[in-house]
Amino acid sequence: MSKNIGNEDGFILPLVLVIIALLAGGVAYILSQGLTELQANTLNQDYELCILTGKNALAVAQAELADNVDYTGTSGDVADANGGHYQITVNKIADNLRDIEVSSTFKGYQKSFGGEIELMIDGETPTAARIVRFNWKMLGIE
């Protein structure tokens, strides 16, 4: 007595279709989670590049003040090498002290930085200076 399972009642085709539907649903869920994570990583990268643009602008301001103590900042937005834009404003507080404000933009993100630079003006070259102290902080989102 051997019993042959041979799809006499037609149950194999619906079973295969249900298994394929479950597998397709699992694959779709995994792919959607991957895309969501990719979008979050891209947004985080843009945010970090906005901060990097601001730090680059602070370094530019520091270098400009070392060469020229009368540096007042940029006249408008300046493009950065990483694709962002920044603007620098330098205010003279005292002969050897400058207040710096930097705003940086990268895609949809904006950050502000502020700080003080203390200079030691060179006696031989009155327009050049050595930076004694540079305190800065990230102020937040504009």
Domains and CATH numbers, the chain: 12-141 (3.30.1300)
Cα torsion through 37, 39, 45, 49, rounded to 10: -170
Please, what is the Cα angle at 74 between 42 and 128, to 5 degrees?
120
- Tell me the per-residue pLDDT of 70-119, one tens digit each, with 9 for 90 and over: 899 999 999 998 899 999 999 999 988 999 999 999 998 999 999 999 99
CA distance 52 to 89: 18
Instruction: Flag whether the pTM goes above 0.85.
Output: no
Please, how many CA atoms are within 13 Å of residue 133, restricted to the half-sphere of its CB? 8
| Contact yes or no for 46/106 (Cβ under 8 A) | yes
| Contact yes or no for 90/72 (Cβ under 8 A) | yes
Please, what is the Cα angle at 126 between 124 and 127, to 5 degrees?
130
Write out the two tokens for 37. Answer: 């994570």
- Tell me the per-residue pLDDT of 118-142, one tens digit each, with 9 for 90 and over: 998 877 777 788 888 999 998 866 5
